[in-house]
Amino acid sequence: MCQNKFKKIEKEKRKLAFEKAHEIRKFEIGLYWKRATYFWAFIASAFVAYIAVISSKNEAFEDKDNYAFIITCIGLIFSFSWYLVNRASKHWQTNWEKIIDDLEDEFTGDLMKRHIKNNNKWYELTLSYRFSVSRINQIISLFITVIWFIFLCSSGYKVLCISTFSLFGSWLLPIFSFVTLIFIVVLIKYGISGKPEEKVSLKPPYEKRMY
């Protein structure tokens, strides 16, 4: 009797986990596109600013190469961050899909594991084809990152040609290059998902909060 009750409770827990996994997967997909919109807004603004600066013919605008270099540093950081976020989003989406795959046979059958066999060719432009939306987005974000890197090299070369690096000269190029490199390393090293050990604890409910 107790064993049957225990099995029933375990099944209810697995069913609840299955439903929650579906909900979180949908939530992750929604976040995926919200993040894409967020990064696109910043990257598009950086592109507009960069084009506006390099195409400016205002003679009073003497430091346009310096400003263009700063914009490319910002554009590179945001586009590289977008690429990493796309990979992270794909990771968590895959995580919940694997959990669903593990649980679904018990409740809905192999629904998520089943799909049509698409025999269409990729060059048949009006027919469906099994491209990966998330992978295409990753490739685009990587392409944008490479474009910003090329802009960075171009702007950096122009600044290098006009700058005199001395105690009283321009330090813009080495400083921003160093800062950009540091932040790329920080994004790769410290942007990895994990649970850091925060030095916090939950207060008992009877303790008064201090503001």
Averaged pLDDT, 175-181: 88
pLDDT band at 80 (very low <50, low <70, confident <90, very high): very high
Instruction: Return the axis-axis angle of helices 133-162 and 172-190, rounded to nearest 10°.
Output: 160
Q: So where are the chain's domains? A: 1-191
Q: What distance in Å separates the CA atoms of residue 73 and residue 174, rounded to the nearest whole number? A: 12
Which segment of 2-16, 60-74, 75-89, 171-185 scores lowest on mean pLDDT? Answer: 2-16
pLDDT tens track for 121-158:
888 888 888 888 889 999 999 999 999 999 999 888 88
Say if CB 64 and CB 172 are below 8 A apart.
Answer: no
The residue whose two tokens read 């008992």 is 204
DSSP track, the chain: -HHHHHHHHHHHHHHHHHHHHHHHHHHHHHHHHHHHHHHHHHHHHHHHHHHHHHT---TT-TTHHHHHHHHHHHHHHHHHHHHHHHHHHHHHHHHHHHHHHHHHHHHT-STTT--------TT-TTS-----HHHHHHHHHHHHHHHHHHHHHHHHHHHHHH---STTS--HHHHHHHHHHHHHHHHHHH-S------S--PPPTTSPP--
The residue whose two tokens read 């084009």 is 51
Q: Which amino acid, residue 32?
A: Y
**Mean pLDDT of all residues in the chain?**
83
As given in the structure block, the two tokens for residue 61 are 């605008």
